Amino acid sequence: MRFPDVVLRLPDWVAAFLPDPDRAFPSAEDRMDLAVELARLNVEHGTGGPFGAGVFERESGRLLSLGVNLVVPARCSSAHAEIVAIAIAQEVLGHYDLGSTPAPTYELVASTEPCAMCLGAVYWSGVRGLVCGARDEDARAVGFDEGPKPPDWVQSLERRGIAVLQDVLRDRARAVLVQYRDAGGPLYNARQG
Amino acid sequence: MRFPDVVLRLPDWVAAFLPDPDRAFPSAEDRMDLAVELARLNVEHGTGGPFGAGVFERESGRLLSLGVNLVVPARCSSAHAEIVAIAIAQEVLGHYDLGSTPAPTYELVASTEPCAMCLGAVYWSGVRGLVCGARDEDARAVGFDEGPKPPDWVQSLERRGIAVLQDVLRDRARAVLVQYRDAGGPLYNARQG
């Protein structure tokens, strides 16, 4: 009796989309622009849900990894954009802890605030910052379920040394969620008992 | 610019350990015995943290998949036993939702109560039951961090149609945690800001 491996692989279109590896993303808006564009292209290509994320060096703005929602194509309910981006970053660095060395430090940039699962993943990842675009209520407004998060989830991250920045390009990030809903995309996490 | 795939693969010793595929696990204790044994063997083989899990058909007790903690060997902070077991189950079924058909229904059996991340993963997985061995406080007592979970996390699962059973073989499950700590195993999620 053997079990299959689980493989998370970015869609083929990502390679053509990727910026010059030397390009830096200096501001939070520059980084969020990439995350939102990933979300938009994931919808446009029909390769998953309307969510994108990236892991960046906080100081230099260099892109370490990225992720898009792969739940449907990867047949994996945990393959949210944040989980994918963190896992690829750790594979690139060869370590399960993105905070294992004092420098550089890393931040996760997510086109929508993390669901309950991804919030937990952020605690364990070793990132030192979380930058969010659309709000939980924006995701809920189009029918996605963010799950039960502690009401003080922002403070829970900051108490652990993870700085949080919200509402970066929120309107653009929200527009991708609306575009997805209006196109009739599956709302796969919407079961409510 | 290309990014590597993320691959989650069970350790080699699992294949030899696996029971006859026709064997059923009728009771919660039978199922937990497997999860705890996986946790114990993962420590003994030095292939990860002291956590094991399995996905079972609720009625028949047939084993669909299993997982062990792979954080260190897979270089992936999300590779907790529950995440691995759920992802393999979904790969076996070929669907991201273990509740996508009315029957059979599935339950996740975990040697320790889920951390904040894995709790979120349970909501999205499609399982209809969660069976736990050691308690959060048992994991915390040996130095692991379970993260901020909603105080009513058991009820939050049950409100979503996921039945929860706690304290199954708790003493045996806890003993594996203590064995791991006493052997000096790394407590990788213990950063507190």
Per-residue model confidence (pLDDT) at position A146: 94
Q: Give me chain B's average pLDDT, please.
A: 94
- The whole-number average pLDDT for the span A18-40 is 93
**Residue A186: per-residue pLDDT:** 81
Residues in B touching A192 (Cβ below 8 Å)? 160
Cβ–Cβ under 8 Å, residues B99 and B81: no
CATH topology of domain B22-182: Cytidine Deaminase; domain 2 (3.40.140)
The overall average pLDDT reported for chain A is 94
> Top-level CATH class of A23-182?
alpha beta
Copy the structure tokens of residue B11. 């350790």
Q: Which residue has the tokens 């370490």?
A: A64
In chain B, what residues touch A5 (CB-CB under 8 Å)?
Answer: 7-9, 91
B111-144 pLDDT per residue, tens: 999 999 999 999 999 999 999 999 999 999 999 9
Q: How far apart are CA A79 and CA B76, in angstroms?
A: 13
Q: Which of residues 104-163 of A touch B (CB under 8 A)?
A: 115-121, 123-126, 145, 147-150, 153, 156, 159-162
What would the pLDDT profile of B93-103 be if each residue is shown by its tens digit? 999 999 998 88
Which residues in chain B are contacts of A72 at CB distance < 8 A? 96
Question: DSSP characters for chain A?
Answer: -----EEE---THHHHH---TT-B--SHHHHHHHHHHHHHHHHHTTSS-S-EEEEEETTT-BEEEEEE--HHHHT-TT--HHHHHHHHHHHHHTSS-TTSSSSS-EEEEEEE---HHHHHHHHHH--SEEEEEE-HHHHHHTT-------TTHHHHHHHTT-EEE--TTHHHHHHHHHHHHHTT---TT----
Tell me whether residues B78 and A86 touch, CB distance under 8 A: yes
> Measured over all CA atoms, what is the biggest interatomic distance in chain B, rounded to whole angstroms?
51
Least confident of B65-69, B100-104, B132-136, B148-152: B100-104
Half-sphere exposure of B62 (CA within 13 A, CB side): 9
Q: Is the pLDDT of residue B188 over 80?
A: no
A82 classed as catalytic: yes
Cα separation of B133 and A154, whole Å? 30
Task: Give the pLDDT score at A193.
Answer: 33
**Given A37, A44, A82, A158, the catalytic residue:** A82
Q: What are the strands, taking DSSP E only, across chain B? A: 6-8, 52-57, 63-68, 106-112, 129-134, 163-165
